[in-house]
């Protein structure tokens, strides 16, 4: 098994099978068709068109390519949340540079926030909750206030 990072996700190679499991609506099906050298997967601007796994033999049967429906909003949030959990573990259980750990957390919070924001305000048909931007912002603000109250921070004591 081998994983190759791409700008929008990961292409996982298991033996001779490549699975394109990238964020929804970033051109995954178009890439799939291009690699397969024929139009197999449906290409459309509307999110969620490709839901089932579609396969094609490429390089004269040398490889099998799979087009997936992506992780969705919940799966994306879980991936970035798990990444943040790894960063927290690195903070508590390693001596890695605190600056590097800060930047890793900073970078991971951006796609996590975008994924959660999309989940809150995208239509129900696209897997979202269909909240207005104002309602989604209010819900996120309420969660932040509750977390600040529930998890108070204290200044670190410096040795004398």
pTM: 0.54
pLDDT tens digit string along 110-156?
888 888 888 898 888 777 899 999 999 999 999 999 999 998 887 77
pLDDT at 67: 64
pLDDT at 45: 63
Task: Name the nearest CA neighbour of 40 among 32, 52, 48, 28.
Answer: 32
For residue 125, give the DSSP letter. G
SS (H, E, C) 134-156: HHHHHHHHHHHHHHHHHCCCCCC
Residue 121 near residue 136, CB atoms below 8 Å: yes
The whole-angstrom separation of Cα 126 and Cα 143 is 24
pLDDT at 143: 93
Residue 70 in this model has a pLDDT that exceeds 70: no
CB atoms within 10 A of CB 60: 6
CB atoms within 10 A of CB 143: 11
């Amino acid at each position: 098994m081998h994983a190759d990072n791409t700008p929008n996700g990961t292409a996982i190679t298991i033996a001779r099978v490549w699975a394109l499991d990238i964020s929804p609506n970033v051109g995954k099906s178009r890439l799939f068709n291009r690699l397969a050298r024929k139009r197999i997967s449906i290409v459309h601007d509307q999110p969620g068109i490709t839901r089932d796994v579609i396969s094609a033999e490429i390089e004269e049967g040398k490889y099998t390519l799979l087009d997936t429906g992506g992780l969705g909003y919940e799966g994306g949030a879980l991936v970035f949340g798990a990444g943040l959990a790894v960063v927290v573990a690195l903070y508590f259980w390693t001596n890695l540079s605190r600056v590097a750990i800060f930047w890793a957390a900073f970078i991971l919070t951006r796609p996590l926030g975008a994924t959660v924001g999309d989940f809150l305000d995208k239509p129900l048909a696209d897997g979202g909750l269909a909240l207005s931007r104002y309602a989604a912002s209010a819900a996120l603000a309420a969660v932040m206030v509750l977390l600040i109250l529930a998890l108070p921070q204290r200044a670190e004591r410096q040795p004398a």
